Amino acid sequence: MLVGRDAEIAELSGLLKKASDGESHCLVLRGEAGIGKTALLEHAAARAEGMTVLRSTGVESESHLPYAGLHLLLGRHFDRITALPEPQARALSAAVGLGAPEGGRQFLVGLAVLTLLGDLAADAPVLCIVDDVQWLDQESSEVLTFAARRLQAEGVVALFAVRDPGGPAWDSRGLPERRLPGLDAEAARTLLAEVSPGTAGTERERLIALAGGNPLALQSVGRVAGQGGHAGHSHGTHAIEREVGRRLAAADAATRALLLVTAADDTGETSTVLRAAALFGAGLAELAWAEQEGLVRTAFGRVSFEHSLIRSAVYHHAPLAQRLQAHRALAEALDGQGEEDRRAWHLSAASVGPDEAVAQALEQTGDRALAGGGRATAATAYERAARLSADQPARERRAVAAATAAAEAGHLDRATALLDGAAVTDDDLRRHALGLRARIAEVQGRPDEAFRTLCALAECAGPEEAAEFYVRAVDAAAGSGDFAGLARVSALAAELPGGQRARDLAEVALAIGNPEDHSMVRLFPTVKAILDHDSADGDLWTVVQRGWWSMIIGDRDHTREHAQAIVDRCRREGAAGVLPHALALLARAQLLLGRHREARAAAEEGVALADATGHHEASLQLAVALGTLDALAGDEAACRTRLDRVLDGGLSPYTAWATAALSLLDLGLGRHEAALSRMEQYLAEHHPMGAIEGLPIMVEAAVRTGRPERGHRAAAELRRWADRVGRPWLLAVAERCDALLSGEADGFERALALGGEPFDRAQTQLLYGEQLRRTGAPARSRVLLGAAAESFERLGAAPWAARARTELRATGVTVAVSGAEDDPLERLTPQELQTVQLVAQGLTNRQVGARLFLSPRTVGHHLYTAFPKLGVTSRTQLAALIADDRQTGRS
């Protein structure tokens, strides 16, 4: 019976009950070694009646073996891989060594695990237990946490136990956690009475204080006291280590050697341990003694320690020389086929200086890990091989290979550190290292460094390769506002046979940054051609970045089409790492086009994926989109929570967008002075082009505060930009702002004639309608205000809709406004909306799950809840409803 853990037991019982009801949940248990995490996991497993229980444990010595934790968790069910969607089946088979290597499509592996868990849960609810997560191999850790973050309605409970403090940091962002405290005094007394019934009074209280509320420590010191010994003065986990040391001291040399080999082993196989221990004269008799003493347990041909802390204490209690001998013995024992990687790691652990034979074995291990998708493991193998290399060329080659694998695994800071320590002298390797540095700088948002590195690469490359480097250099220079650099790259690219794309890009970027270039319309075909060229089969990351170019020049429709094409491609290819960035571009375009419902769905999916994949920059982009939607809805708390995070991040242009969104919130809530002051402060420190969306807000706020002169600069900058790009929607906004400042009706009429995006047009109708009401033209005013109110309702812009209704009442009539509440799709959650839109295209649940990185069971759940909301009972009816929605333009 667990003592003092009633709250935790109740929580776990609740999760198991919810799994039986078809819900999925995850919980991370954190705490120091011996605090009771494993005991709670065992309790959950014992209570999981009628459930499929999957178990895995991270082992420090196995942390370099890719997908070792996943093998242990799901190995018994790998026969079901063939039933997975084909891309997922290929990726998972390659990862676990059952299929041809694919180069590692990490997030497809995670999606395959998610789908497999859902398939298992279709037979019975699933309990997934992973202990000592901090020691999991990086690949298993990433795919399991990815899957855990995407669990929704499968009937799966995922429990993770993490040693903290006392182990490597483990990223559990987005997963619910419970930190286990020490036992209170009453629970400690109860537990001590079970272990050492004769202990009482001051001795009992001394032992309780000594254990510090740690149950395992309390049992250790209680056992010593019960045997007539003295528990000493250690505290908490130190008491456990002290107890292990006492037992080791009582053992003979052969038994200590067997225990050390067991601690150093990463197979858990009794036969392997005994083969290695035999080299020290140890065997079954010593193993039996260790089991009788409660240090290890054996079952089904495997040997393991009673607790991971005992393993750690045994290993670190031994002198270095003995640890080296244990690893050499294990390397000798692991001489069979298929054991090459484990043998290489043990040889590495037994090496204290350069050893080319071991370095070669480790390099081959890294090659095999890379082929199977274990990039993080490959990086570790190559790095260790570099340190053991006997000559400089081999050391350089392996160090750069380690940095490359680390970067591909997403560990960019580690990759940079490896490059810094490589001291590369070989010309080819140096070029590769420079290319890697450039890519890291691009991804991490350091355009100045990326530009310098790419130019250096171009100078030492052949014409065709140099042209590609210059294309990327243009992106970097544009990102940092280095117009002199743009001009230089344009001139250099002009001398190359394949430099046309770089010249075209440079021309566009220079035009954008040159206020004297009054006609950018001529560049639209160039930008479209560049985007179409890159979209076909270009590097996904570059294609996403290029999409912002059409946004900058105001081509919102083309941006949305481009972004949708990238999102579709990411879904087809399982590129979950790029997808959040593509969704950020799509959400931004949809938002500005007035497709607010779809924008929120895309942004919320993107945020969940960005958090699951660790893409901080994409998360900020998406937070801006959601914060702007919150501002439009008048949800101040949600808006500020999202946008304060963006402002703290300090990345431009997201800070400009966040500033504009907060000013939009103030404007909608009637805080005109606050909106105006915020934009003025921003423009005092930044170029107006970066705050283009905030300029109309500034003009309206200036007029409403009775200080129109404070809006003249913003209106002038807006007019200058509108004239340059010539987009009707932007010209309409400029006309509206000029009309606001001048009070002339003709400007409003010109703005309405130009059209514009839904929110912008509704704003013009509202402002013009207000002016007409004040100047005595109620009939025209009612038409405009009614149209504005209906548009704002449909867009979910509650503060503006309320203002329009107030103005309507002031004209003497109350008009019933029909808007969002009449649209059945508005009743759906963002994920339900995405699900039904894909199903309406004829996709199966499994296909939709693959597109949205959800399990098919969760897709089925979304359909189950969406159909009644929409009033449909079949996929055919659903397709007709979605088609009608698109025809009416409500999306």
- Tell me the whole-structure pTM to 2 decimals: 0.76
Residue 846 in this model has a pLDDT that exceeds 50 = yes
For residue 633, give both structure tokens.
Answer: 């809805």
User: What pLDDT does residue 515 have?
Assistant: 63
The rounded distance, in Å, linking the Cα atoms of 560 and 547 is 9
Give me the amino acid identity at 862: H
pLDDT tens string 349-374: 999 899 999 999 999 999 988 887 78
Q: What is the DSSP string of 521-588?
A: GGGHHHHHHHHHHHHHHS-HHHHHHHHHHHHHTT-HHHHHHHHHHHHHHHHHHT-TTTHHHHHHHHHH
Strands 302-305 and 296-299: antiparallel
Query: How many C-beta atoms surround the C-beta of residue 802 within 10 A?
Result: 15
- Check the CA dihedral 621-626-632-638 and report its sign: negative
Q: How many CB atoms lie within 10 A of CB 1?
A: 8
Question: What CATH code would you report for 824-888?
Answer: 1.10.10.10
Altogether, the residues listed in the chain come to a count of: 891
Sign for the pseudo-dihedral over CA of 824, 826, 827, 831: positive
pLDDT score at 379: 92
Question: How many Å apart are CA 259 and CA 148, to the nearest integer?
Answer: 35
Give the mean pLDDT of 327-338. Answer: 89
Alpha-helix residue ranges (DSSP H) falling in 726-757:
728-742, 745-754
**Has domain 6-179 been given CATH number 3.40.50?**
yes
Check residues 226 and 214 and name the one with the higher pLDDT.
214
pLDDT digits (tens, 9 = 90+) for 644-655: 988 887 766 688
More confident residue, 548 or 734: 734
pLDDT at 447: 84
Task: Tell which residue, 56, 19, 29, has the closest CA to residue 157.
Answer: 19
pLDDT at residue 230 tops 50 = no
pLDDT at 13 over 80: yes
Residue 783 has, within 13 A of its CA and on its CB side, a CA count of 3
The mean per-residue pLDDT over the stretch 285-299 comes to: 86
227-255: burial string, b at 16+ Cβ within 10 Å, e else? eeeebeebebbbbbbbbbebbbeebeebb
C-alpha distances (whole Å) from 476 to each of 415, 544, 655, 690, 708 are 20, 14, 19, 17, 39
Question: From residue 42, how far is each of 23, 48, 167, 333, 884 by CA, in Å?
Answer: 21, 10, 21, 33, 54
Backbone angles phi and psi of 340, in degrees to 5: -60, -40
CA-CA distance, 124 to 119, in Å (whole number)? Answer: 9
Q: Where are the domains of the chain?
A: 6-179, 185-249, 428-514, 824-888
Distance of alpha carbon 423 from alpha carbon 441, whole angstroms: 19
| Backbone phi, psi, residue 57, to 5° | -140, 130
Q: With beta carbons less than 8 A apart as the criterion, state whether 672 and 704 touch.
A: yes
* pLDDT tens digits, 664-723: 999 999 999 999 999 999 888 776 666 788 999 999 999 999 999 999 999 998 998 888
